[in-house]
Structure 1
Amino acid sequence: MLDNPPNLLRLSASVDAFKTNKRHCFPSKAAVRGSLLEMRRSNTVAFVSAGMLSPKKRDHMLARRQLYLNYGALSLATILNDQGFKTLLVHGEHREPSELLDALVQDGTLPSSLPVMLSIPSFYALGWAQRFCKLVRLADPCAKIIVGGRWVVGPDPGWLRKKLPEADLLIPGLAEPVITSLLTATPIVRRLSAPTPQFVLNHRLVSGFERYQPSIEASRGCGMGCSFCEERDIPLEKLLPAEQIAAALAMIAGQYGTSDVRPYLQSSMFAPNLNWSTCLVSAVRSHGLEIKWRTESRVDALTPETIACLAEAGMKVLDLGLETASPTQILSMRKSAHPDRYLHRASKLLKACGQNGVAAKVNVLLYAGETAKTLTETRSFLDEHNEHIAGVSVGPVVAYGPPKTANILLHEWSGSGCVAVDSRSTDETGITHVHLSREMDAESAELASLDMSRRYMNANAYYRLKSFSYYPRDYTRHDFDRDVDASDKSRLPFRQ
């Protein structure tokens, strides 16, 4: 804690002024700066994962309970911590930015002599980040604010600069190679790539880490060319060795002091072969581990034999990017040039999950050009495999990014009769909702998404999947039922 509570309270009061004065008549910068000069600055590098002012899909109590560990920011915090710097990662979640800033001031993390590292994990977090930057600059005009988040900063740093004028630096690529330089007078801000980290994330650097399920970054990239994917042109890296994954699982259990954790093996396309999977079984056994974990992959990237091995190694939930079962839409998405082969492999994989006790959560994307016919094709496939599906996540496609990148997608989609709901939103927020086709507008697509979600998922299935990875580790079924009662049932993606 800081040694001078009165000054600390003055800083907190300046933040309160931002919250309560709707005319934005702030204290003068000179007054705030005067109080700060009297304060002792910490030597902590504060990493802040921008939260969301409202959930990205449907706003209800259950959505606001979800936690998303920012493992990219934690990777950077871990690097600096290993170099001797004191680091802390805090998540905005669905808290007000002012609440989070108050907490950082009260515990002495801010003000700091080192930069505030703000990570923006998605465009849905941009509004929160804008408020937070304004508050930090108001409370501490001397603060250095460095903003990262490859998917938000990378597409057009010039556009983002206009959205975040308070930021001192924008880092457009992966920051592992440059993170130490960002603490110096000569920071490196070039766009760089970085291989999958070889170290285990230090989850104890996360404020309230016990609430979050841990992550292991298993590989980066994908490169499969799907039209809607951010990583369509980024080559898939080789998976970390199976022994290294098992050792990471053991280290995470040590960090949490329990094997009752549910790590997420982060990989845009988890695609191990049978030999790697067999090695993982042996490595897990040699470490004496009984940890259940989750990952994601394509429906055509794993074989039934591999699924059996991975289940034996602890894989309990698999997020599968089916996206569609319509041959027309498979081709439009560029998921595969051979829809029949794609769906045949998807069928075999889903059945293998069911036979090996792996909960398959299927992702479905209502895409540009969607019609009642294409939707029926997807629904028929899911009906046929219903007994092997643990749940679904369904939603209409959205064009993410500033005009520089989003307009390319929107132009491509326009050939299918797809148009923006509000063309101004592209520049204003980087999030462009669309009418999918002349037959299916945005409202119809949302209703169809909810209908399909409820068709394959009840409350029990929804809770099991969400509590495995995304709800706080101490979030009970009683908590869930209470939140269901407090939610608008029309927004919930499951049947009662």
Structure 2
Amino acid sequence: MKKSDVVVFVSAGMLSPKKRDHVLARRQLYLNYGALSLATILDATGLKTLLFHGEHEQPSVALRMLIESGSLPSRFPVMVSIPSFYALPWASAFCQLLRTAFPSSKIIVGGRWVVGPDPEWLQKKLPAADLLVPGLGEPLIQRLVNGVDDVRRLSAPTPDQVLNHRLVFDHERYQPSVEASRGCGMGCAFCEERDIRLEKLRSPDQIACAIAAVSSQYNGGQIRPYLQSSMFLPSERWASALANSVSELGLNVHWRTETRVDALRPETIPYLAKAGMRVLDLGLETASPQQIVSMHKSSDPERYLRRASLLLRACRESGVATKVNVLLYAGETSKTLDETRTFLDEHIDSIAGVSVGPVVAYGPPKIADALLEEWAKSGATPVDSNSAAETGISQLHLSREIDQAEAESASLELSRRYMDASSYFQLKSFSYYARDYTRKDFDNDVRASPSSRLPFRTDMDLTRD
């Protein structure tokens, strides 16, 4: 069988959504910008590359589509990226199907958060994989493609490149990404980047030029990029310079990013709004002083919440929609939940929506056991003591007062308190729905989904009230 000259990257999909499975949940698209970075590097060397996202298609469908496109089989290794532990079952099934269809194909698996914690554990979950690559792939990718199986971790700066979204299969469906910085290092107990140092933010000129270059990849169509940064932390001077750079280039592109509520200074918000920022994801996580300290978010909860208030109000005044992330944490009680709810109520006019969910321990026992042991001191226990070894995903009973079922119920109640269908659609359509997904499509999917599992109020809810 003739083999193609295409280096195929496959971003593993999910057999079911990570929170609640229904029609609407399956509409979300997640651009794997890490895998796209690798594809872009190879493309710049003259190699043909393709990034295919598994989304919520069955692995067999994904494989068939790649064969029909002429990309598989390939004379190069097939690169499978696993963005989260929720994607592991899909990746395992895909690799096995690929091995059966093309026994001579080499399968290389990456995904820093999934491969890194315990490669030996992961290899047992992926018997069809030939090589697992922990850590970042940029320093290694050219050697791997050329058949050198050396996965020693090499230090290398973040590539100064604009992601080539045209390398993505059916790329016009996806909202693009612009990488602003990497790392965080703020030490939050639940975060995978708690010990990874925050890198220097790219310059305002670099960001503006990247936005302009990405816009050209979509032939002038409207885009809403996500500025990828675990903690977006520009100074007022940087934000002002970005606004000037965007103006000089004549850009009219609205974008979204994320940060901590106590890190970004309110003074930067007007400049960022002028530069095109329209949605800001804020990691509040909790407004309970007890839980703020338990999460290692801050040793000074009063200061933390005061800064959160100032930032939320600054966003409202500049017309920036805020989506607030809330994490129900180990030791959660009705009292701590009430404290968070009260804070959100007090700032309801500054909140466009919320994302709420209970904390989960990710990783095999080598990683998860230390977290679970720490959280046990607050009264949290795993729902299934074998889940870390079996899936790398350990769900929790948060406390004696709030078990898993009650945590799920509280998450939905809190989400619906601050979001209706319109606000939810506005936020999701900005960066997570396909670019051609309309409000009519959304309404049809809402009607086809059980309202009791949706994280926002619907017309049916209002009728019942």
Q: TM-score range by the shorter chain?
A: over 0.9
Could you tell me which residue of structure 1 aligns to residue 35 of structure 2?
73
| 8 A contact 1:299–1:349 mirrored in 2 | yes
Could you tell me which residue of structure 1 aligns to residue 2 of structure 2?
40
Could you tell me which residue of structure 2 aligns to residue 471 of structure 1?
433
SS in 2 for 1:250: helix
Specify the code of the residue in structure 2 equivalent to 1:87: T
Please state how far the C-alpha of 1:195 moved relative to its aligned partner. Answer: 3.0
Matches of 2:291 and 2:398, distance apart in 1: 12
Question: TM-score under structure 2 normalisation?
Answer: 0.98
- The match for 2:309 among 347, 350, 354 is 347
Matches of 1:152 and 1:313, distance apart in 2: 35
SS in 1 for 2:217: helix
Matches of 2:121 and 2:155, distance apart in 1: 21
SS in 2 for 1:262: coil
Matches of 1:87 and 1:49, distance apart in 2: 13
Specify the code of the residue in structure 1 equivalent to 2:56: H
Gaps of 5+ in 2: 459-465
SS in 1 for 2:162: coil
| 8 A contact 1:196–1:217 mirrored in 2 | no
Matches of 2:355 and 2:66, distance apart in 1: 35
Could you tell me which residue of structure 1 aligns to residue 49 of structure 2?
87
1:154 aligns with 2:116: yes
SS in 2 for 1:73: helix
| 8 A contact 1:219–1:237 mirrored in 2 | yes
| 8 A contact 1:174–1:194 mirrored in 2 | no
Specify the code of the residue in structure 1 equivalent to 2:202: L
Structure 1 residues 193 and 401, CA gap change in structure 2 (3 angstroms): farther
Matches of 2:192 and 2:233, distance apart in 1: 18
SS in 2 for 1:89: strand
- The match for 1:317 among 261, 266, 279 is 279
Could you tell me which residue of structure 2 aligns to residue 176 of structure 1?
138
Once the two structures are superposed, residues 354-387 of structure 1 have per-residue CA deviations (whole angstroms, 9 ceiling, x without a partner) of: 1100000000000000000000000000000000
- The match for 2:419 among 457, 460, 470 is 457
Could you tell me which residue of structure 1 aligns to residue 15 of structure 2?
53
1:219 aligns with 2:145: no
Query: Aligned ranges for residues 212-251 of structure 1 at < 5 Å?
Result: 212-251=174-213
Could you tell me which residue of structure 2 aligns to residue 437 of structure 1?
399
Once the two structures are superposed, residues 64-117 of structure 1 have per-residue CA deviations (whole angstroms, 9 ceiling, x without a partner) of: 000000000000000001101110000000000000100111121111110000
1:447 aligns with 2:447: no
| 8 A contact 1:419–1:437 mirrored in 2 | yes
Structure 1 residues 193 and 330, CA gap change in structure 2 (3 angstroms): farther
Query: Aligned ranges for residues 6-45 of structure 1 at < 5 Å?
Result: 39-45=1-7
Once the two structures are superposed, residues 381-417 of structure 1 have per-residue CA deviations (whole angstroms, 9 ceiling, x without a partner) of: 0000000000000000000000000010000000011
- The match for 1:495 among 433, 447, 457 is 457
Query: Aligned ranges for residues 386-401 of structure 1 at < 5 Å?
Result: 386-401=348-363
1:116 aligns with 2:78: yes
SS in 2 for 1:191: coil
Matches of 2:396 and 2:220, distance apart in 1: 45
Once the two structures are superposed, residues 147-188 of structure 1 have per-residue CA deviations (whole angstroms, 9 ceiling, x without a partner) of: 000000000001001100111110001000010000223232
- The match for 2:369 among 407, 411, 420 is 407
SS in 2 for 1:135: helix
Please state how far the C-alpha of 1:193 moved relative to its aligned partner. Answer: 4.8
Specify the code of the residue in structure 1 equivalent to 2:276: G
Specify the code of the residue in structure 1 equivalent to 2:441: D
Specify the code of the residue in structure 2 equivalent to 1:202: N
| 8 A contact 1:66–1:470 mirrored in 2 | yes
Please state how far the C-alpha of 1:309 moved relative to its aligned partner. Answer: 0.7
Could you tell me which residue of structure 1 aligns to residue 461 of structure 2?
none
| 8 A contact 1:195–1:220 mirrored in 2 | no
Please state how far the C-alpha of 1:194 moved relative to its aligned partner. Answer: 4.0
Please state how far the C-alpha of 1:254 moved relative to its aligned partner. Answer: 0.6
Matches of 1:194 and 1:449, distance apart in 2: 40
Identity %: 68
Question: TM-score under structure 1 normalisation?
Answer: 0.92
SS in 2 for 1:256: coil
Could you tell me which residue of structure 2 aligns to residue 185 of structure 1?
147
| 8 A contact 1:422–1:433 mirrored in 2 | yes
Could you tell me which residue of structure 2 aligns to residue 140 of structure 1?
102
Q: Which moved more, 1:469-478 or 1:185-194?
A: 185-194
Could you tell me which residue of structure 2 aligns to residue 288 of structure 1?
250
Structure 1 residues 458 and 194, CA gap change in structure 2 (3 angstroms): farther
The Cα RMSD (Å) is 0.7
Specify the code of the residue in structure 2 equivalent to 1:485: R
Matches of 1:304 and 1:368, distance apart in 2: 30
Matches of 1:196 and 1:243, distance apart in 2: 17
Specify the code of the residue in structure 1 equivalent to 2:214: I
SS in 1 for 2:408: helix
Please state how far the C-alpha of 1:304 moved relative to its aligned partner. Answer: 1.5
Specify the code of the residue in structure 1 equivalent to 2:402: M
Structure 1 residues 282 and 357, CA gap change in structure 2 (3 angstroms): same
Please state how far the C-alpha of 1:258 moved relative to its aligned partner. Answer: 1.4
1:260 aligns with 2:228: no
Please state how far the C-alpha of 1:206 moved relative to its aligned partner. Answer: 0.2
SS in 2 for 1:64: helix
Could you tell me which residue of structure 1 aligns to residue 239 of structure 2?
277
| 8 A contact 1:50–1:119 mirrored in 2 | yes
Matches of 1:415 and 1:156, distance apart in 2: 25
Please state how far the C-alpha of 1:352 moved relative to its aligned partner. Answer: 0.5
Could you tell me which residue of structure 2 aligns to residue 307 of structure 1?
269
Please state how far the C-alpha of 1:427 moved relative to its aligned partner. Answer: 0.6
Aligned length in residues: 458
